[in-house]
Structure 1
């Protein structure tokens, strides 16, 4: 199965450590992207996005992500800025400008203050599937595993210049939007389309291409899109999310009907993953009980062991590195303060992540 990743980043003034709305200037300087890769604007002018090309394996994906970070970092530094990989800005811009464009304007009119201060960045994984029916079947099976991917990818403990007490404050910001969180159990592509159309008719989504579910059939590509993780602190963290997500999709494709799980328990699992990351408890969606988050991670690895195939050992090594050195959130907190977290997560010109993370 093919794979791709979209990485969102913050543009930060090195002198203040705060985001600045200079996305258009930076994107105008971007050069030397890999084949099929693109750099985009995002909702806020303080954000830029790198979208890899369609990749056949994790090695190719890593090459794309390294090249993308290098290109965006060089473009940002040419403008006197840093490219920072964090789910939320440790030190916020109190009045970030939204990007220009008709769709962005529609979003601002609909959601008002929910988006005027929104500066969150994620790591989105796309995995190729043959059709929408397969995509919906896969999404149904992903539901119990999304909180664990969140715990593993948590990288936003700071917000509004202070420690939030959460590993992923980005997820709490996203929870304010309609139909956020784990998607419901759909059962078929027709049911998915009907639920989406109902939300558009209710007036809480701009159109059918906009949802806030943590996994969905992509409205633009023949893929399942999983957008649960915060912006990855390093390329390794992004590759790990991609490897596990592809293995989950591969496992789901050949599975029977998805289990019917309690939506409130799934919501509790997402909240707990956002609160503690991997450093505390998690909620097992199958048993509706509190267990250590690392046990859920090991259960995920066991669940996808066959699907990982030749990636099993490299993915295991990446997991062990996170368990030893910490998630992005744990590394930010160890840095000691919001401004030091910015320094930690400023991407280096070589493009391999941040020099200290």
Structure 2
């Protein structure tokens, strides 16, 4: 067979885009002369992020269905038909040997067309609660790569392979020492460090919590590395001090994780997978504003294994100080959480996903 051609489709959020890019990078590493094409949704972040990663992308005119009657919903049938027509053109012209879908609206029409032409298709589901697009495609694909146990609730058991979620290579093998990491952020070795993560844009409710609890955290002798997000930096940078480091964005996540004694984070699939590899005690504060409340379900899956603590946004004002004090005061609890979350890590996820793609190519 000549050089391989692969289409990767997924987007709408970083949680769908970054796994697709990681898979593309591994395919390119194994097949340097392969042709790779991404298919996303017009006007969504993948149209910017994928070219930045060095790959071509085509955009479909597609969005999801809103929960209430809107003009967007009335347009949905037209967008779906348009996307299916575009997807047929893309597949006919590119003639892929395999197609990978990582979730998001654009992957629906593309994988529907490809599977209808008997092109091997692989799904990658990041969350413990399957997304709607992947659920709709489950009977049409050859393999479904998942990160959690119990996914036969959503998918045919014989198609499921537990691979984990792709994570950044620099996190799989963190080389930085703690002293070096603390110095990078201007933090002190003598203090306990709490790292607060709200995503690149930031998390309003987490930021409000930290602002309210600054005095409490100071009373415990804790120093903060507070990634408040670019949307909120202007509002919170006034708190920057010797013991509170406020930043819009963390460009050295390996240093941030190494510096941390404990971590507060949202519970998106990518964050959860990274934090399993890092193996530090985590308090998850899931975003309630995501499809099917999947962040809460991701965090619950770890809480059940005594691998993380879960606080819902509705509990923050009444329970945060009690939960954090108990964690801070018990080294045994911190060690147990760190060891248990590390035991759930699947650091070779990207490699295993591409192994599954290769098996399908061999059967062609």
* TM-score calculated relative to the size of structure 1: 0.30
| Higher normalized helix content (fraction of residues) | 2
Q: Which has the larger radius of gyration?
A: 2
* TM-score calculated relative to the size of structure 2: 0.29
